[in-house]
Amino acid sequence: MKREWLRRLRLRFTRGFCLMDRPLMPQATAVWLVENSSLTFDQIAEFCGLHPLQVKAIADGDVAQGIKGSDPITSGQLTRDEIARAQENPKQKLRLAKSKVMLPEMRSKRAPKYTPVSKRHERPNAILWLIRNHPELKDTQLMRLVGTTKPTIQSIRDRSHWNSATLVAQDPVALGLCSQIDLDQAVAKAAKRNKAENPDEDEGPDATLTQA
């Protein structure tokens, strides 16, 4: 009963804390601080995002008996000076050390383009227009522009599409399948890629002439 009460108390107490302001392993860190410092229960509880009664229970051996203490100094989350400063003043709060490791920015995956049902039958015409007018675009770019699939693009390229005989090339912007800005950006990106892959093409015919 006591452990269940402590568990519920911990859940209620930690619900409002920001995880970014707490050590990575709160209970293991609390175990280490109880065993290796003279900090008060309140100081340890505040730093680890726990309730003071839970820290007391850790010190009494009622909870966290099987948890090995995690040293916050070696993990770079606390400094010895910070612990010493807090031990001298029981009212002083521990401050989490700033991480020196730069975490990579998480990029959200772009959701697949949604095409209204009323316009889906017009996609093959738009794909044909893009293939004819912008052959430099990759299939992945065509897929993003009009919300199609690679097999569909390939079937239109090799004329194996079930409706290939009646397809009429139509501008996807005019059909409302993509915006002019999206199309321009895709074309510019393709041009930049082609320039990087074929730098000699911009030098002109004079570039191949040797000096007399």
Alpha-carbon gap, residue 91 to 212, rounded angstroms: 87
Instruction: Quote the pLDDT of residue 14.
Output: 47
Whether residues 75 and 140 fall in one domain: no
This model's pTM is above 0.85: no
Dmax over Cα atoms in the chain, in whole Å?
Answer: 98
Q: First vs last Cα of the chain: how many Å apart?
A: 98
Tell me if 97 is assigned to some domain. Answer: no
Whether residues 69 and 125 fall in one domain: no
Tell me if 121 is assigned to some domain. Answer: yes
Instruction: Quote the pLDDT of residue 171.
Output: 93
Nearest to 113 by CA among 147, 139, 143: 147
Instruction: Quote the pLDDT of residue 136.
Output: 92
Tell me if 25 is assigned to some domain. Answer: yes
Alpha-carbon gap, residue 59 to 63, rounded angstroms: 8
Tell me if 131 is assigned to some domain. Answer: yes
Instruction: Quote the pLDDT of residue 84.
Output: 92
| Domain termination residue (choose one: 51, 73, 88) | 88
Digit-by-digit pLDDT tens for the chain (212 residues) are 555 655 555 554 444 444 456 788 888 999 999 999 999 999 999 999 889 999 998 888 887 777 888 899 988 888 999 999 999 999 999 988 876 554 455 555 555 566 666 677 889 999 999 999 999 999 999 999 998 899 999 999 999 998 889 999 999 999 889 899 999 999 999 999 888 887 765 554 444 444 43
Instruction: Quote the pLDDT of residue 198.
Output: 79
| Assigned token pair, 95 | 């401050």
pLDDT 10s digits, 10-44 = 554 444 444 456 788 888 999 999 999 999 999 99
Whether residues 177 and 136 fall in one domain: yes
Tell me if 173 is assigned to some domain. Answer: yes
Whether residues 123 and 193 fall in one domain: yes
Whether residues 65 and 19 fall in one domain: yes
Instruction: Quote the pLDDT of residue 158.
Output: 94
Which residue range(s) make up the domain with 121? Answer: 117-198
| Domain termination residue (choose one: 71, 88, 105) | 88
Alpha-carbon gap, residue 62 to 55, rounded angstroms: 10
Q: Are 137 and 187 in contact (CB under 8 A)?
A: yes
Alpha-carbon gap, residue 184 to 181, rounded angstroms: 5
User: Cβ–Cβ contacts within 10 Å for residue 15, how many?
Assistant: 8
- Total number of domains constituting the chain: 2
Helices (H), 37-122: 41-48, 52-60, 80-88
| Domain termination residue (choose one: 67, 88, 109) | 88
Tell me if 105 is assigned to some domain. Answer: no
Whether residues 84 and 121 fall in one domain: no
Whether residues 132 and 191 fall in one domain: yes
